[in-house]
A and B are shown apart, each in its own frame.
Chain A
Amino acid sequence: MIRLTPPDPFGLYTGSVTHWVVLVVAMVIVVFVILTGAAYTVWFERIELGHMQRRPGPNRVGPWGLMQSAADGIKLAFKESFGPRDVDPILFLVAPAIIVAAAFLAWAVIPIGLSNTFTYWIANLNIGILFVFAVSGMNAYAILLGGWSSNSKYSLLGGLRAAAQLISYEMALGLSLVPVFMIAGSLRLSDIASYSVHWGPYNGPIPLVILAPVSFVIYLIAAVAETNRTPFDLPEAEQELVGGYLTEYSGLKFVCFYLGEYVNMITVSALASLLFFAGWHPAIGPFAWVTFLVKVILFLFVYIWLRTTLPRLRYDQLMRLGWKVLLPVALANVVVTAVVLVAVQ
């Protein structure tokens, strides 16, 4: 069921035809905003990495280097898309398409509070968060297929590593959110973001990180691993694997992988703020989206901060952390939360 919540005096959202027009326009806007957001996440990352290394970062193209991503995009788009001999032609092409499609698909269910009375989404699925996991699970296919079809040993090794890593950390990621669902009593993202309490004089939404701090920590770690970013960027460990699954990709196909990574970064940041930090609450009049944006940017900053600080884990350390630490802790967290919830009721 597709619904939009704003007041609807003209019946645009309920009309059988206009409803689809509104929806398509909304989708175009979301894709445009996320594409721009990904480009400026790249810019933001390079600026922040630069500042933390005491250099200015990109500052040549446009004011403060703001057009750097555009320049890079144009450069990459005009590059020759060169692949090695004997690649699997179909899979080699499909892999980057999968990663971009999966990255954008997740935004179909992510709600954005535009003001305190107007919440926007494309699809308000009652299993929203499961849908996000389902489509972000497709990333494993994209990376594995891309690595395998490249006919290159580095790509294959990178792809296999990525697949193992994604599967390991998806378990912890999924389990870390179970307490959140149990507390909020819903899988719908907008319900979780608006989870409200009646605590004495306070009556309203609270950030769920207060009630589920362990979940948040596990989510933060597992999300870094899910997006293949430092310190969990073994699939593209350049010192040992050249570029991992990306080795043989160039031109627009490379852009697709790169774009997918940054869109996924924004997605996990948005999910973190929706699930644990009450999304667009507190909504200050018509600026609910600003609250949301600030939270997302803060999480992006945390990712960049981690990247510039922490060295890459070794592969066995990565697997040990995933299976021997995060997974048991997440399971125990589920059990403890369940017991506490029953005790409280």
Chain B
Amino acid sequence: MDDIERRSQRPRQNVLQDVGALVTGLRTTLGQRFQPQVTVNYPEEKTPRAARYRGRHYLRRYDNGLERCIGCELCAAACPVGCILVIAAENTEEHRVSPGERYAKVYEINMLRCIFCGYCEEACPVQAIVLGPEYELSDVSRERFVYTKDMLLEPNPDQQDPLVVGGEQRQTTTSPPPLPLPREGGGTA
């Protein structure tokens, strides 16, 4: 008698116990049949995201509409995958974009490279770049994943619907990005 044979003969239950075990199993599955389902039907229903969820980036403005970004490129330096490109330009009295000396003339993030680590957010001295709750970022070509400044910049608060970011309609799934406004008196214009 080999090992398998012996093992399968070892626990001698009587037939009633065996049938009882079957009935217990069948009752369990049938009981689950009438429990509420745990599935979230994704495109129609969505799970709530954490308050500090790191999704798509936004470039923020001050309340008066000036851009926060001062073109310091610390975000690009902090980025572990090098997906941020910042080209700064000088602010002038006639053309003032941000309250500091310089502003970001070009600000691009390659979303295919980005790992959503949030280091850019931490590196930013004026809290210009934040990661929002939006995560549905699929698209049809690689080129479209390079998000330019006008896509990233949050709308001027007194002009637009806060859900419309950049030129195109991008519906965020919950409320507009939670903007943890810095309360320090850092860079009021």
Contact = CB atoms under 8 A, between A and B. Distances in A.
B37 A51 contact: yes
B117 to A, nearest CB: 33
Nearest to A217: B19
B8 A305 contact: no
B47 interface: no
B29 A54 contact: no
Interface of A: 48, 51-56, 59, 305-306, 308-310, 314, 316-317, 320
Contact of A55 (B26, B28, B29, B37): B37
A52 B36 contact: no
Contacts of B36: 54
A117 to B, nearest CB: 38
- Residue among A53, A314, A317 having the largest count of chain B Cβ atoms under 10 Å: A53
A254 to B, nearest CB: 28
A115 to B, nearest CB: 33
B41 A308 contact: no
Contacts of A310: 22, 25
B33 A52 contact: yes
A308 B4 CA distance: 26
Contact of A309 (B4, B28, B37, B39): B28
A54 B36 CA distance: 7
Nearest to A311: B25
Interface residues of B, number: 17
Contact of B39 (A55, A305, A317): A55
Contacts of A52: 29-30, 32-33
B32 A54 contact: yes
B16 interface: no
A305 B32 CA distance: 11
Given A316-B4, A316-B8, A56 B26 contact: no
Contacts of A53: 32
B8 A308 contact: no
Contacts, number: 39
B184 to A, nearest CB: 48
Nearest to B36: A54
Interface string B28-56: 11101101111101000000000000000
- Residue among B25, B29, B33 having the largest count of chain A Cβ atoms under 10 Å: B29
Nearest to B38: A54
A320 B5 CA distance: 10
Contacts of A314: 4, 8
A310 B28 CA distance: 11
A131 to B, nearest CB: 33
Nearest to B25: A309
A59 B4 contact: no
Given A54-B36, A314-B8, A316-B8, A59 B41 contact: yes
Contact of A316 (B5, B29, B38): B5
Contacts of A56: 37, 39, 41
Contacts of B4: 314, 316
Nearest to A317: B8
A55 B25 CA distance: 19
Contacts of A59: 41
Contacts of B8: 314, 316-317, 320
A54 B28 CA distance: 12
11 contacts: A54-B32, A54-B36, A54-B38, A56-B39, A56-B41, A305-B30, A308-B29, A309-B25, A309-B26, A314-B4, A314-B8
B30 A54 contact: no
Contact of A54 (B5, B26, B37): B37
B26 to A, nearest CB: 5
A53 B34 CA distance: 10
A231 to B, nearest CB: 10
Nearest to B22: A310
A59 B40 CA distance: 12
Contacts of B35: 54
A320 B35 CA distance: 37
A310 B23 CA distance: 10
A34 B36 CA distance: 33
Contacts of B22: 310
Given A54-B36, A56-B37, A310-B25, 20 more contacts: A48-B33, A51-B33, A52-B30, A52-B32, A53-B32, A54-B38, A54-B39, A55-B37, A55-B38, A56-B41, A59-B41, A305-B26, A305-B30, A310-B22, A314-B4, A314-B8, A316-B4, A316-B5, A316-B8, A320-B8
